[in-house]
Structure formats: structure tokens, C-alpha cells
Structure 1
Amino acid sequence: MPSDSSSTLQHITAVLDCFSTVQPELGVREVARLANLSPSTAGRLMAEMKEAGILQQNPANRAYSMGSKILAWAGVYLSTLDLREIALPFMEDLRQKTGETVSLYLLDGMDRLCIERMESHHTVRIVTRVGKRLPLYAGSGGKAMLAFLPEAQIESLLNSDQLVPFTSATMVDPLILRQDLEKVRRQGYAISVGEWLADAAGVATPIFGRDNTVIGAISISGPTSRCTPEQIEAYADCLVQAADEISLQLGYTGVRVSTRREKTP
């Protein structure tokens, strides 16, 4: 027997499937018939979906149509497609130049979502599963995005109970993490040594979208035996250039990271 939550999700999906470009507006009885639901169930569910912004209601004829929440979700999906498509050739170039794993992350709330990776050809390499969700505060890919979020969002995370360590190197002290994020903003890139995986090191740079806000990050990572501090600094130069080009192709019109960054002393 399906659980109540899975049954509700199936009903929501069935309701949304009723709408189309041919029938963008539907009444409760029409949806009930098309979705094979009782009118009372359809009416209750559609009212709840309206409250959540998934549906909206025309006050003139009381008919429903898809709401602004759907548009927001569609925008995230489309930005993911654009980001991945634009980033792929740059990722391949970075892998060829460095020989290390190159990963692409999408900002998702206060997490980062791996949406593409190109693995190193070395036997010993860092593997990040596509679809894996990771926190922003641990690892170079997350910190590259976190540093460029609005200050209120940064402070909300730093003052929360979400800063839990994954290794002994994970920054969970708000003061230390805040200082590191300031350094990321000055340099234009984030470095991680053992923060997410004990024997891994990485460098990442933020990617900005057409609204000039951070939407993702691109990273180069490998074992600490190969990714020395000197090597990481060398990788940062080509990584910043690649991220700048990706941002520009996405419609970013702000200041390039490469023109405002400071080198590590």
C-alpha cells in the first residue's frame, strides 16, 4: 500500500498533468475528471496548491492555472541546463590542462548540488557523484559560492547549528570560517585541504548568472599528494579565467573575478 505522502504526491502530479498549452486554465470538476479524483479531493488539493503558490486562481471565473512557484522551478531547471551546456567545454579544457577531476556545482538553497563532473584519468583520483548534495561551508566548491551570497544569508548559516565537522579540518568555528570567506572574496577563489575528504584538496571559483548573483561554482580537486599548495595556486589562475568566461556567457555583467582578485601572499 502506498504511504499517505506518496499518495498525495501522486495526486499533485496528476493535477499538474491536467494543465497544458491547450488547456492552461481548468476548473475543479474538470481536473477531478481528468485526474480521476473525486471533486472534493481535487478541490481540497488544489486549494492547498494555491496556498503554496503552485497554482493560482482567476477571480473572475474561479478557474485554476499554474502558479509562480512553477515558473521559479522552471527557471532553476533552465539555468541548470544553460550552466552545464556552457561549462562543459571549459571543464574538458581544465581537465586536460591539470589532469585532475573537474566538478560543476549548482547553488541550491544553502547546499551545493553536483550537476556535472569530469574525472581525472589518474588511478588515484577524487570522485564526486553527479546529483550529490553537499553543504556550502565544507569544501572549496561550497565556500566559493557561500562567500558571494548576501551577508544576511552568510550570517544565518554561521549563527546556526548546521556547522558540523566532516573531518578534523572542517571549519566549524564561525570566526575562522568568516575570515576564510573574506579571503575567498579577495582572492576570487576558495581552497580546501581535507575539509570534506581527509586526503583531498581542491580549489573552486564562483559562477555568476544573468542577474549578477552567484549561481554555481567550478572546482578542480585531487589527492593532497598531487594537489600541493603551489599546484593549487597554479590551478586557480586558469580556473578563474574559465569561470569568468562561463559567467559572461550566462549573461553576467558585473566585475570579473579575474580583475579584482588578489594573489595569495
Structure 2
Amino acid sequence: MAGLELISDEGYRIDGRLPSELRRTRCRLGVFTQADGSAYLEQGNTKVLVAVYGPHEPSPNMRNQVLPDKALINCEYSQATFSTAERKNRPRGDRKGQELSMHIKQTFEASILTELYPRSQIDINIQVLQSDGSNYCVCVNAATLGLIDAGIALKDYTCACSVNVYRGFGIKDLNRVEESTNCPAIVASMLPKLNQMIYVEQNGRLHADEMADALLVVTSGCQDIFTLLDAAVQDHVRNLTTNVGRE
């Protein structure tokens, strides 16, 4: 897809968005009653479901990893077999999925106040129901909502965004087609209120000036995600309060 025009002469992307626009986002907290916390998030056509369990006593197979001064974060990532249209891209428990699981785990080890839960375990179970680009970012954003729903103490919201650099433009929140090009890209997660980056991955070469601009765009994208997630949490809390009041 090297020859694909990502931005038209009129300034629109292949899905009709402006370079600075996020995909349409829909989310809901508390989708499972059996889990301590749960959330569902759509960003465009990428759809992710998260269930959070804990803090609880470490499971038998994890006891050798238990930490005396903080919680052990266990992240399980999976992708539904029907999540992609292309047969060759269907997940088979490959290395990419394992790497995503590790990166998400490391992200939340940096954002959860793990010292408040010594000798315990927190499980973050993530399933991608439909994949259309920016899987890491959507999983992180959905997991943040699940952790908030579970009442897990966080330093801040953890928000993630992806950016392509195309002809000097920073393109936010990549879909699958944009992600598949050879354009340099950055994927990052941050704590928006603290203005602190906790994960950055660069794909492709960027000039120092382009890198600085791309980081500004990805930071702006994370802040946009924060606004959406915070609004969803506020709505969820209001609904809970209203329901309690009716009872």
C-alpha cells in the first residue's frame, strides 16, 4: 500500500476524517456482573471487551511471581477468530499477540498504584472482537475503563493513541489501512493529567523535527481520548447514583 494516498487534495483521509480527527468512539462500563470491573470500547471498527478481576490472592500458578511490596499485574490478550476479514490475518496465538500482552502489562504496571495492593494479583483480560487498526491503543483505553470500574487505584487515566506522519501531516488514530502503509508511525500511551508518557513505540525513521511534531500530535490525541473516557466515566457514575437514589 506504499502508493496509497492517505490524504486527498481536499484534506480528507480515506474514511472521510480530517488528519486531527479520532474515529467515532463508543464505550460502556460495567458490562459484566461477574467481573470486578469491565468495559466495552469501540474506536471506529476496532471493538474491544475487557474484564478485570482483583485485587485477589495470587492464583497457584502465579505464586512464585508474587511480590511482597506491590501487586502482580497479569494481562491476558486474545483476539477472536472472527475479528478480521482476511483469513491470513486471523489470530493464532502468534508472537504479535504475546508482545501486545506484554506491552499492555508494562503500561499498567506504570499507571496502577500497585504498592497499595501488596502480595496480591490483578487480572486484566482483554479480547479484541473486531480489529481495524490501533489494537494496542484501543485495548489500553478499554482496560483503563475496566480498571476504573473495578475501583483499582490509578495514578491517572491511561490513554493511548497512534499517529502516522504523512507528507508533513500527523494523522491521529490509525485504522487498519493507514496502519498498513510504510509511513513512519508512533504509538504511545500517557497519563494525561500528569502529562507523562509511559510507553512510546516508533515504526520507521523520523527526522528530529518530525519526531517532535509527531509527539505533539500523539499527545493531543491522548488528551482527546482522555476527554472521551472521562465523560463516559462521569455518565456511568451519574447513572449509578440515579439508580441507587431510585432504590
Fold similarity call, TM over 0.5: no
TM-score, structure 1 length as denominator?
A: 0.26
Normalized per residue, the structure richer in strand is 2
Normalized per residue, the structure richer in helix is 1
User: Which one has a bigger Cα radius of gyration?
Assistant: 1
TM-score, structure 2 length as denominator?
A: 0.28
